[in-house]
A and B are shown apart, each in its own frame.
Chain A
Amino acid sequence: MRLSQRVISKLQRLAGKENVHTDEISLALNGYDCSQSRHRPDAEITLKKPSLLEPLICLLAEEKIPFIARAAATNHAGSCAAVKGGVVLNLNPLHQIYQIDTRNGFADVAPCAITAELQNALTPLGYFYAPDPASEKVSTLGGNLAQNASGARCLKYGNTSDNTLRAEFITPRGETHVLRHDACGPDWLGLVAGSEGTLGIIKNLRVKILPAAKHVKTFLATFPSLAASVQTVSDLVARGLIPRCVEAMDQITTRAVEDFSHAGYPKDAQALLIIELDGTLKQIKQEAQLLEELCRANGCDTFTAARTEAEREKLWRGRRAAYSAMAALAPNVAVGDGTVPRSELPKALSQVRQIIEQNGVMASLLFHAGDGNFHPQIVFDGRNAEQTRRVNKTLHEILKTCVGFGGTVSGEHGIGVEKRAVMACQYSRETLRLFQQIKRAFDPDNLANPSKIIPVHFEDKTLPAPENDVSVLAMAQKIKNRFNQKHSTTLVGTNTQLKSHAADILSAAELNRILEIDKTNYMAVVQAGVKTQDLLRELEKQGVYTFLPPSYTGSIGGLTACKAYPAFIRQITGVQAILPNGDIVNYGGKIMKNAAGYNLCRLFAGSAGALGMITKLTFKIYATPQTIENEAKPLFSFEPDSLFRAVKNEVDPLHLFRTAAFGEVNE
């Protein structure tokens, strides 16, 4: 699509003539990122003032021109490629750090503030920003949020979404919304995080900053097998020791990295772990003792601690040089980021090695052992079509393997255009349809970063829906019947105070089974009708804990749907829900990270049953009791905003699911 001279003149009038580029060279330079995708846009606009964003987007919406926000373009998924042409908005000049407030623990930044710049500004103040993506020296905070990037420290401190407090967000229609996790209604901030700019553009951010640990200690442990190293990490978590980071490498990678960087890694070790602890000196000493004990118990060959800062730096040098070691071997490096439940990591890794060998490609394998996220780095020459085809095939096979182990095709890099096809292997047709509805609700004209995340013609490609529980199927059938008869439904929890017509009411009370308490991955899977008191009793019996208020009397589904206890919402990693038309959707599971698709956990949490009935939840559990800060909020009512109405209109156009949240049925 070529832009007409009239449109270009309008854009130039708005953004300044010198900031609008339409020559071939400028366009070619704005059509790529760190992935293999190359798509030329029709124009590039360098935005020098944040105030220009809204009018520009309004103009583009009026002219129906697609637009793609571009920050540092360091993603490995092709999220910045202009697949359908349009205008690339270069936000890089908006890189200011506006304010750092240590008293209240936040920093206000522009979307393209550099992660490392913020860290550098915080260090002298004794604070730090937790997410540390590998590209932190160049990655932007807005880009991190759009991709929901994380990094080595996310095991302990959470990903970018968890560390963002507020974001100014511009929808593709040009409306500005201030999104917060704790606002009433669905967690829009959580939904926008990881949406890769397909739902709109992030204008300004407020990020969480934390007091820096006074002491940091790094350890290197080598193991006779991968399984032993992964078991050590599970044991660590089981004993309530969450390290600052746990990085791991297999033997092939260790050898390659050692040859390149001379970091002092033993080449004969089958697996090695780099573990970092932070806190007070006393705390580190205690934790180090426990760490050594657990490593020895799992048969570690060597366990060494970095004694000086130089030694610590040397240990990390090798890990950081892993990408360089591969980049020096061939012109291109394809990086995957599949994630599996931690307990499946050894099996998944051996299968991945097999796939790599079968396809005859050269790859290193790094993994964040704490969260089951691994990065195969495959080197190849992009000019060789056959080699490229083989690499793409290998990557797809690896990602499918991850899905087979109950994992996800992307833990932190996102989907973009490169992994769109494999999304159909992970999600059912119904779930992908819901993704499409969310996209349509935010962006009815498909202008914001089009053709990303959702696979093309997925209706024919998706796998059959996974087997569901009989009670869930029965509930889905009930809802489907009501949908066919166009009967409205009011969802109620066990704690409801609604006085509605009995015929309308539908409760998930019969879905009251605790399905699994997995003490290897430290995850619990429960049905939504389980009462929190019963759940807490069962967890206590098993010696595990989670963020649930003991005084709350309702069901876990009700607590989630009403966002009654936000601390618990942050622990949810998987959700199953029945949509108003009776479709069952599944998202996430026993995985610590998931950057594939829109975060449905955050959509349903706080939706007060207006978008669907939550039937199953997967959430994190802990080996030690957690501090419960506040009491749960009672059932609330909120004024739905335009975002909520748009999503509701898409998901439930007949408004069959009625809810107290709108004040519609609460008498």
Chain B
Amino acid sequence: MNKKRFLCFSPTFVTAPSGARSVEESTVHCTRCNACVQSCPSYLSRHEEAYSPRGRNQIIRLLAERKIKFSDNETLLYDVCRSCLFCARCTAACAGVLPMAEHVLALRRAAEWDFLPASLKILLRLHGTHPTLFDMLLCVLRLFRRAGLLHLLRISGLLSLPPLYWLKHADDILPRRLLPLPSALKKHKINPCPEKPDILYLPSFEAQYLDAQQGLASLQWLADKHPLILTRTPSGLFEYVYGNLSLCMSQAKRLLSRWHALSGKRPLPVITDSIEIFVFLKHFPVLFAGHPAWRKRAEGFAAKVQFITQVVSARKTAAKTAGETVRCALDDSSLLYTADEPVLQSRKILKTLFGKNFVECEYSRFVIPAGGTAFVRGPERQNAVLENVKDVARRQIEQVYCLSGLAAWELDAALRRHYPQACARHIVHIQAKPWQNSRQTHPLYPPTRN
């Protein structure tokens, strides 16, 4: 057993009702009551202790106590880490509110396992570290697509060559009609950089690249009332989930510095359209638990973070969608933690708009979120999303509003394939006109041939 891997647990702090605590300490607080188990989609598809949140906690605890070794069954450990969907349903069910998804993240980091193909990871990492280079690569992709080169490369098998592998991933995950948010803003002549901004808007990756409509709708929603400034500084969430902690912290520090510089004397509210980024930013103080100076700044920052639905009222949007007769539901999933306030706010908005047609989904068994780990493949993930589709069909829901863009993207692709009567969109789309036919494909759920 590599000793370093154990030591990696300690400096990672996770949130707890009584404040931040180390991962080791947090797993010790698991009373093994098993209240979490029926909320875990991985467990429900396998019914084995190792794939339950309680089992994962015990694995980490036993590893930290050196009662088991990585080498005892590395395949099982890898599979256990891979099967966690970070949906945080276990945390919501836990009496001690243990952040079990974070425990698994800590184990993944300690084991130095990658769950993304290397080239895809490098590509997505570039978005945070070198956004200009990332944009240039996208231009290349667009050119290749327009010229039909990409199709040729794919059918000739050349895309499988390592130097071109990134193109395959980019082609898989990025939409056909690629319109990055900056270009979309130019096209719609929106200038989100006033001199005296009221709010700082932090768009998600999906709003920037996967679904520019989401970004535009968010901007329209916000810009109507508030002069805002848009920042593309990465939050560090991608590195937190898929990469290493030090890179994540340096990106978080960059964001904090940018916010501090823009705020001046008056702390600027930070708005985001991604529930994942929202909960991650809210937990910045825990991320900097070991750094008192940064922690103080992070606390001030976290207090100002808001989800997009918290800054608009339902009444305003009601006029545009009045007369709606479709049945809708809310996918309240978020990555790593549960987010109460935005969920309540979104529910209120949908109730106001849809009245009796808003279906309250008490997500119980399989019905789980797609949130945030859309790039990870695996049977659990696919099963979970398919169960979501079944639930939508069972309840005869026609529109599913998600708080996460990635969740909407993934669920919509699955719905398109298996239950085309319904579709899924990010919550900001209630602001937009009738949904446009801009459904994206997803690598896990390619469209049916007919």
The residues of A with any CB-CB pair to B shorter than 8 Å are: 23-26, 28-30, 32-34, 46, 72-74, 90, 92-93, 95, 114, 116-117, 120, 135, 137-138, 323-324, 327-328, 330-333, 381-383
Contact = CB atoms under 8 A, between A and B. Distances in A.
B33 A23 contact: no
A333 B31 contact: yes
Contacts of A332: 31
Contacts of A34: 31-34
Given A73-B34, A74-B34, A137-B38, A23 B76 contact: yes
B113 to A, nearest CB: 16
7 contacts: A23-B76, A34-B31, A90-B49, A92-B48, A327-B29, A327-B31, A382-B28
Contact of B35 (A138, A333, A381, A383): A138
A24 B68 contact: yes
B72 interface: yes
Nearest to A382: B28
Nearest to B67: A28
B359 to A, nearest CB: 15
A46 B96 CA distance: 29
Given A24-B68, A34-B32, 14 more contacts: A23-B76, A24-B73, A25-B68, A26-B49, A29-B55, A46-B47, A74-B33, A90-B47, A92-B48, A93-B47, A117-B365, A323-B33, A328-B95, A381-B28
Given A29-B59, A383-B28, A135 B49 contact: no
Given A24-B72, A327-B96, A29 B50 contact: yes
B393 interface: no
A120 B97 CA distance: 25
A357 B62 CA distance: 33
B167 interface: no
A29 B62 CA distance: 9
A483 B71 CA distance: 62
B18 interface: yes
B1 to A, nearest CB: 12
Contacts of B10: none
Contact of B95 (A23, A114, A327, A331): A327
B37 interface: yes
A138 B38 contact: yes
A329 to B, nearest CB: 8
Contacts of B33: 34, 74, 135, 323, 327
Nearest to B28: A331
Interface of chain B, main secondary structure: loop
Contacts of A330: 29
B95 A25 contact: no
Nearest to A73: B34
Contacts of A24: 68-69, 72-73
B129 interface: no
B58 interface: yes
In the A-B complex, the 9 residue pairs with the closest CB atoms: A324-B95, A24-B72, A23-B73, A92-B47, A327-B95, A93-B47, A327-B96, A29-B49, A331-B28
A28 B47 contact: no
Interface string B51-82: 00001001100100001110011001100000
Contact of A33 (B18, B32, B48, B96): B32
Contacts of A324: 95-97
Given A93-B47, A328-B17, A328-B96, A25 B35 contact: no
B38 A26 contact: no
Interface string B14-39: 00011000000000110111110110
A46 B48 contact: yes
B69 to A, nearest CB: 8
B259 to A, nearest CB: 32
A330 B31 CA distance: 9
Given A29-B50, A29-B58, A30-B49, A135 B76 contact: no
B364 interface: yes
A28 B38 contact: no
A640 to B, nearest CB: 39
Given A24-B73, A26-B76, A328 B55 contact: no
Interface string B79-103: 0000000000000010111000000
Interface in B358-400: 364-365
Contact of A323 (B47, B72, B95, B364): B95
A324 B93 CA distance: 10
B29 to A, nearest CB: 5
A379 to B, nearest CB: 10
B330 to A, nearest CB: 20
B34 A23 contact: no
B62 A28 contact: yes
A331 B34 contact: no
B34 A25 contact: no
Nearest to B26: A331
Given A32-B58, A72-B37, A138-B38, A120 B364 contact: yes
A95 B364 CA distance: 16
Contacts of B18: 328
B97 A26 contact: no
Nearest to A332: B31
B47 A137 contact: no
A112 B75 CA distance: 28
Contacts of B35: 135, 137-138
A72 B47 contact: no
A333 B31 CA distance: 7
A29 B51 CA distance: 10
Contacts of B28: 331, 381-383
Contacts of A93: 47
Contact of B77 (A25, A32, A333): A25
Contacts of B37: 72, 138
A235 to B, nearest CB: 34
Nearest to B97: A328
Contacts of A95: 47
Which of B33, B35, B37, B365 counts the most chain A CB atoms within 10 A?
A: B33
A72 B365 CA distance: 16
A25 B364 contact: no
Contacts of B77: 25
A327 B33 CA distance: 10
A361 to B, nearest CB: 16
A34 to B, nearest CB: 5
A137 B31 CA distance: 16
A237 B387 CA distance: 47
A360 to B, nearest CB: 21
A72 to B, nearest CB: 6
Contacts of A120: 364
B107 to A, nearest CB: 12
Contacts of A328: 17-18, 95-97
Nearest to A321: B95
Nearest to B33: A34
B93 to A, nearest CB: 8
A28 B95 contact: no
B38 A116 contact: yes
Interface string B94-118: 0111000000000000000000000
Contact of A135 (B17, B34, B47, B50): B34
Best-surrounded residue of A25, A28, A90, A331 (most CB of chain B within 10 A): A25
Interface in B425-443: none
B345 to A, nearest CB: 19
A25 B67 CA distance: 9
A25 B50 contact: yes
Nearest to A322: B95
